[in-house]
Amino acid sequence: MVFVVALVELLLKIEFLAWLERISLEQKSAFVGINIGTDVSNLPSAVDIVGILKAQQITHVRLFDADAHMLNALSNTGIEVMVSVTNEEVLGIGELPSTAAAWVNKNVAAYVPSTNITAIAVGSEVLTSIPHAAPILVLP
């Protein structure tokens, strides 16, 4: 139940209703998007990465974390951004709505509307990669 409440808070915080109004099925068409993880060595700067995205006409990006440099570099580009809660953050967010709200304030609200954050992904293969996560994150 706590996870559901936290998820509702996340959606409200990014003005979910305004987001739904802005995006309609008729406006959507095929697009090319990429995944970006910043936890690697020799990664170009965020500004350089965004320059490459724009040059290649990439319109959608999933960030595997809420990297401040990437979120700032993506501002005012029109690129749709899916920001991710890392696996390390999932349990805390699932346990306490206040932790979820703090995460949204720091990693979403601080960048909207200049950064076009359209979705939040929660972890990656969480139930198989985090021992004992299921009882906390999945309702019976």
Reported as a single tens digit per residue, the pLDDT across 35-49 is 888 777 788 999 999
SS3 35: strand
Question: What is the pLDDT averaged over residues 55-65?
Answer: 92
List the domain boundaries for the chain: 2-21+44-137
Question: Under 8 Å CB-to-CB from 35, ≥6 apart: which residues?
Answer: 61, 62, 64
Q: Which amino acid is at 40?
A: V
Look over the chain and give the mean of its residue pLDDT values, rounded to a whole number. 80
pLDDT band at 23 (very low <50, low <70, confident <90, very high): low
Helix (H, G, I), strand (E, B) or coil at 64: coil
For position 103, what pLDDT does the model report? 94
CA angle 34, 39, 41 (to 5 degrees): 100
Residue 123, pLDDT > 70, answer yes
